[in-house]
Chains A and B, each alone.
Chain A
Amino acid sequence: MNKATGIKAKHQRLVLVAIALVALVGAGLLATWALRNQASYFYVPADILANPPEADRAVRLGGMVERDSMKNAADGVTVEFIVTDGKARVPVRFAGIRPALFVEGSGVVAEGHLGSNGTFVADNLLAKHDEKYVPREMQNMTTDEARKAVAQTK
């Protein structure tokens, strides 16, 4: 900001406007660039199998927790289960305290990344709870509907 010290006073407003514009446009461009790289995309199982994201990219996976698929690991904090949208199934591993109302057959959104072995490693699980309207669940729904329903979880 010191470069401009020598400017003539009468150009001051113009320079200030220019600085503000450059900074804001810069912020906008930077934001756009960063958003392309950092936004985490939402997948349903069929999408993630057809079109897997890069291994370390943060994404979200939404679907139903398949019945009888939940397995607790020996360490007592890791759980493995399968998320399905009726078309495809993705194994998910999560270590942590499960959200309330996270049960088999319920809808879930897992935040994390797809591991190289095809297992989705979740850092965070979100289960839907809404006291006004009953939980929307996704059994027998089309992919599109499931996507919509799941997207409301967060």
Chain B
Amino acid sequence: MSEKPKAPRWTLWLPLALFAGFVVLVVGGLVRPKNNDIASQMIGKPLPAFSLPAGSDSRPALDAAHFKGGKPRLLNIFASWCIPCRAEAPVLEELRRAGVEIDGIAIRDRREDLAAFLGQYGNPYARIGVDDVSRVQLAIGSSGVPETFVIDAQGTIRYQHIGDIRPDQIPMILDKLKEAGQ
């Protein structure tokens, strides 16, 4: 409403100033929620003790004790109902062919669905445990599916990968495994 040329000029800048305030506020807000993908508090700590029943007839059950000794392994959190897991399956298969041992935890899954999933998309897992109530998932600090953990030979969690592993991330994962082996 400041149409008179004599009307104070600064009022014309007011909207811009208010908007600038909004942008500052929102930038602050945007920076913060980025840590929504919270890294597990468990990194650098030993895997908690757990024992899960087998999820597949062809693979043994999963126990935290299996991770002690040998070489670093991957622990993959997945589910048959999870779409990104399907995209991830061939990548895991490639990792397996590269000599990586992968154990899987199927979250809130039905056995028949799981069997169908493994049949269709391949089964790169050495062992598969089923976690029907997400207890182990939460215990190791995972909040979503799929996620993948690098566990070293002492059974310590060394790295957490949130979301599906993409083909171009394979070398990165192999590096992390190598680091964990040192």
Touch between A and B in complex, CB under 8 Å?
A: yes
Chain A contact residues, CB within 8 Å of chain B: 10, 12-14, 16-17, 19-21, 105, 133-142, 145, 148-149, 152
A139 and B138 contact, CB distance less than 8 A: yes
Can you spell out 16 A-B residue pairs with CB atoms less than 8 angstroms apart? A13-B2, A14-B6, A16-B1, A17-B1, A17-B8, A133-B143, A133-B144, A134-B134, A136-B143, A137-B134, A138-B138, A139-B138, A139-B139, A141-B41, A145-B41, A149-B143
- Minimum distance in angstroms from B34 CB to a CB of chain A: 12
A137 and B38 contact, CB distance less than 8 A: no
Q: When A and B form their complex, what is the total count of cross-chain residue pairs whose Cβ atoms lie within 8 Å?
A: 57
Q: Report the count of interface residues on B (CB-CB < 8 A).
A: 25
A137 and B138 contact, CB distance less than 8 A: yes
- Minimum distance in angstroms from A45 CB to a CB of chain B: 17
B2 and A134 contact, CB distance less than 8 A: no
A134 and B7 contact, CB distance less than 8 A: no
A21 to B133, CA, bound (A): 57
Residues of A within 8 A of B166 (CB): none
Residues of A within 8 A of B141 (CB): 141
Residues of B within 8 A of A20 (CB): 1
CB proximity to A under 8 Å, residues B1-32 = 1-4, 6-8, 11
A136 and B41 contact, CB distance less than 8 A: no
A136 to B162, CA, bound (A): 13
Q: Which residue of B lies closest to A152 (CB)?
A: B36
Residues of B within 8 A of A134 (CB): 79, 82, 107-108, 134, 143-145
B59 within 8 A of A: no
Residues of A within 8 A of B133 (CB): 105
A148 and B38 contact, CB distance less than 8 A: yes
